[in-house]
Every structure is written in structure tokens, then in C-alpha cells.
Amino acid sequence: MNISENKVIDESIQGQALVLDTVKTGGKKLFLESYGCQMNFSDSEIVASILIDKGYTTTQNFEEADVIFVNTCAIREGAESKVRNRLNDFKRVKAKNPKALVGVLGCMAERLKHQFLEQEKLVDIVVGPDAYRDLPNLLDQAEEGHRAINVILSKEETYADLTPVRLGSNGVTAFISITRGCDNMCSFCVVPFTRGRERSRDPESIINEAKDLFARGYREVTLLGQNVDSYLYSGGGLKKETLTEEQKANSVTFAQLLEKVALIHPDLRVRFSTSHPKDMNDEVLHTMAKHENICNNIHLPVQSGNSRVLEMMNRGYTREWYMSRINAIRNILPDCGISTDIITGFCSETEEEHLETLSLMEFVQYDFAYMFMYSERPKTLAERKYEDNVPEPVKKRRLQEVVDLQRKLSGIRTEKGLGKVHRVLAEGFSKKSDDMLMGRNSQNSVVVFPKENYKKGDYVNVMVTECTSSTLIGKVIGKEETGQ
């Protein structure tokens, strides 16, 4: 298997057109396409909420749209290239309908600012991730022929009072944003520059959103943040960096928030992403162990298995610290699924340091990984301070070795599910047959089973009898009664 065949590598930057399940008629038509992380997809639901409230409807056909928005990712060069190519596709819409508006939202919009409007003239509107409330005003400006841009970063905005519109939803699983921005300043990452400082959302608004989702039939929520473990809400508009030790002690931590959401109902599954190794503490792990409806799955990006490279990346932990966190997870949550992010070919990475990444992968036995070659991003510390001096052929070869090893490890982890009964939340039809349903177990593994009389939203117990390299296959041995 070569790199291009392994979809997990670039899965996080694929574009997806997002529409309402039930599309109203009338009103201007909005085409909304998201790239990048789950946070971007969650943000797109906020954008839709704002514009649908102004009378817009969603469409899957950009050629009939009055407004085309692309919610962008700036984390890697490949993501930006995909968006630029997509914007060229939208040019023909404006050729047919000069009144159609094209806008760039999100991280790439914030990073490139005026370049889109003045130099490349590909778009009419540029909006950063903290300025979505200004969209109706910006659309009015663009319709009048004026340039429309708002990329101001906020120290307060969390959109806590807005109810996101669930786009392209299966009606069973949903994302809930709990923090915005990031304070970590990893040397390779643009997020602090495109999304601003970290802000934690009011826990009551999070709990109310989760309760509303459960009442509407959703059975799983994923709590989202660039670093969920550092969630800390003190109230009163106080900033985390200014809190006293006493104020911190009286604030809501991530472990406490996690428990509050889990206590909404035993039939509401809770997941979270993304964790940071330096902030992942035992309190969170014990909270997970305490509540059966908090899924046994942790995404814990390692990036590199070598301490020198980790220090250059400004990750805030060593190889040994990361391994100690893995040991804690295995001790407290023996059946926990663990996934990760890995970057190959970071500045000055040696062959020996690359081999340490491979050995750490063997130590952890990851269930799944997002794997990338290092690509230098403008304005980051790495771009200013380090030379991107690992030749691209070496980066590619190292990436291929990481991919090949992860493919083997994923197969080993998947095979461990054979012969066991898994509690699965049915999410919809399998990709290959409408006679089969698919869902995920607590460890986030995909499980496929015969449809029979079961439906989306059902919890079923599946005895797994076979598997592929990434999917468990079995038969239902019983449907669980739930509080639906």
C-alpha cells in the first residue's frame, strides 16, 4: 500500500458540503463547504444557524447558490491548495450569475486576509472564525459591491448563546464546542494565530445544548476544543491566565464538565477531542472509568517520539512523559482505544529520531493515526527560527514507514475485538449495503452488523465474528432498552 492509498493521512482536510436534512423552500440559497478539523465543521453549523435565521436555505449544488462559503483549514499547505483549487471551480458560477457571492471563512481567511480580496480577487467576503456574527452585515456590504472583510480575533467570543444548526447530520451523533482558540504555541502550528487565545465556554450552555440534543433523539455528543484538557471556566468574564490559585480551585475543570455531561442521561454517550499530553491528568481518566457512557477512546497527539524534536516543536513534554501518560491510560482504562497525530520530517529530524517515533508507536499500539509530512507554515515559530532542512524524499519515505507500521498496528488492534460482544450505537447504513447497519463501539471502532429490525439510534450488542483491517463485523445478540 502506498501513501496515496491510505485515506487516513489526509482524511482531516477533505471538503464536505453541508446541508440541512430537511431543506426549506424559498429564500436565498447557501452552499457551505467545510475543510479541516472537527472544529471547522462545528463552526459551519454556527454559520448556518446565523444565516438560516436570516432566511437562507441550504443547497448541495453550488451552481444554484446565491452565496458560496468555504470554511477553510490552514494547518497544512495541502489544505490551502485544495481550497484554492476549489475557489477556481466557483469562478464559473459567478460567470453565469454575477450577483452570486463567494466567501472564505475560518483559519485560512484569517491568515491571508486582504490577499484574497485585493491580489487574487477570488472572493467577495473574507471572515475569520471569531466574526461569524457579522456575516449578515458583510453580505449586505458585498451585495452593494464593497469589499467585505472581518478577521478580528476576539478574547471573549465562544458563540455560547447560539444553537448550531445540525448540517449533514445522521440525527444520532453531534459535536459541541467547549473551547475556542489555543494557548499552546506549538512551533509548527498556525492555530494560535488564526483562532486566537483560548477561551472556555460557560458549562451551563454546554450542558443545555447536550440536553437539547438528547431530547431531539441524539445519542452521542463529542466535546470539541483545540485542547479540551485545559478547559477551565471561572465565570465573571475572568481570563484563565489572570486567575489566582483560589479562583482556579473554584473553577469548573474539564473532568468536572465531562462528568456533568455524562450525568445528563446514561443513554447519552460522551466523547471528546482533542487532548494534549501535557494536560491529560488522572482526574479525567478516573472520571471516564467512573461513567460507562463516557467512551473509552482518547485522541492523544504525539507528533514525534523523540524528546529533542518535541522540545523544538514546543510540545511541553518529553518522550518519557508521554509514555507515562499512556501507562496511566492503560492502568486506569485497560480497554481504552488510543489514536494520535504524527509528523515526519520536522526540522533537523535525524534518522535515529525517526526510528524513535516508530518505536514509540510500537510501545503504544495505536488504534488509528493521522500521519503527515511536515510542511512549513508562515508566521509560525518554526518558520522563523528553524530551517526546513529534511529533504522531501526523506520525509516521504519516513511517512511511508509510519503509515506501513500503523496499518499493521491498526490490524492488530482491530483483531483484538474478535470473539467479543460490543455495545454499538447504530449510526446508519453501512457503505456497502443497505441490508447492514454500522455504528461504533466505545473504543471508536466501526462495527457492521445485519439491519434486521434495528434502526439508527438503537444500542445493540454485537458479537464480532470477523474483521477487516479497520472494521469489525458481527451479528446482533440483543437490542438494549434505552430511555428514548
The DSSP secondary structure of 153-209, one letter per residue, reads --SS---TT-----TT--SSEEEEE-EES-----TT--HHHHH-S-EEPPHHHHHHH
Q: Considering the chain, what is the average pLDDT of its residues?
A: 88
Alpha-carbon distance of 129 to 362, in angstroms, equals: 38
Q: Which three cell numbers stand for residue 73?
A: 483549514
CATH code given to domain 3-150: 3.40.50.12160
The tens digit of pLDDT for each residue in 388-405 reads 999 999 999 999 999 999
By C-alpha distance, which of 148, 212, 167 is closest to 56? 167
End-to-end CA distance of the chain: 44
Share of the chain above pLDDT 70, in %: 88
- pLDDT attached to residue 213: 96
- pLDDT attached to residue 1: 34
User: What are the E-state strand segments in 263-383?
Assistant: 269-273, 297-299, 337-344, 368-373
Q: Which three cell numbers stand for residue 204?
A: 451551563
- pLDDT attached to residue 155: 85
pTM of this prediction? 0.86
By C-alpha distance, which of 429, 475, 423, 465 is closest to 445? 423
> Looking at residues 167-194, what average pLDDT do you find?
90
Alpha-carbon distance of 398 to 404, in angstroms, equals: 10
Does residue 16 carry a pLDDT above 60? Answer: no
Domain ranges of the chain: 3-150, 173-415, 421-479
Alpha-carbon distance of 438 to 426, in angstroms, equals: 6
Q: Within 275-335, where are the H helices?
A: 282-290, 307-312, 319-332
Could you tell me the sign of the dihedral formed by the alpha carbons of 323, 327, 333, 337, in that order? Answer: positive
What are the distances in angstroms from CA 464 to CA 118, 411, 473, 474? 57, 15, 5, 4
Top-confidence residue, 439 or 167: 439
User: In the CATH hierarchy, which fold is given to the domain comprising 421-479?
Assistant: OB fold (Dihydrolipoamide Acetyltransferase, E2P) (2.40.50)
3-state secondary structure at position 120: helix
> Does this chain's domain 173-415 share its CATH topology with 421-479?
no
Which of 18-27, 185-194, 392-401 bottoms out in mean pLDDT, i.e. has the lowest? 18-27
Q: Which residue's entry shows cell 508566521?
A: 379
On whether the CB atoms of residues 228 and 252 are closer than 8 A, the answer is: no
Q: Which three cell numbers stand for residue 233?
A: 471556566
User: In the CATH hierarchy, which fold is given to the domain comprising 173-415?
Assistant: pyruvate-formate lyase- activating enzyme (3.80.30)
On whether the CB atoms of residues 33 and 17 are closer than 8 A, the answer is: yes
User: Which of 53-67, 230-244, 287-301 shows the highest mean pLDDT?
Assistant: 287-301
What are the distances in angstroms from CA 118 to CA 84, 242, 453, 456? 15, 39, 57, 48
What are the distances in angstroms from CA 90 to CA 60, 93, 108, 128? 14, 5, 17, 20
On whether the CB atoms of residues 443 and 470 are closer than 8 A, the answer is: no
Does residue 63 carry a pLDDT above 60? Answer: yes
H or E stretch covering 105: strand 101-106
- pLDDT attached to residue 165: 81
On whether the CB atoms of residues 431 and 437 are closer than 8 A, the answer is: no
Does residue 208 carry a pLDDT above 80? Answer: yes
Does residue 26 carry a pLDDT above 70? Answer: no
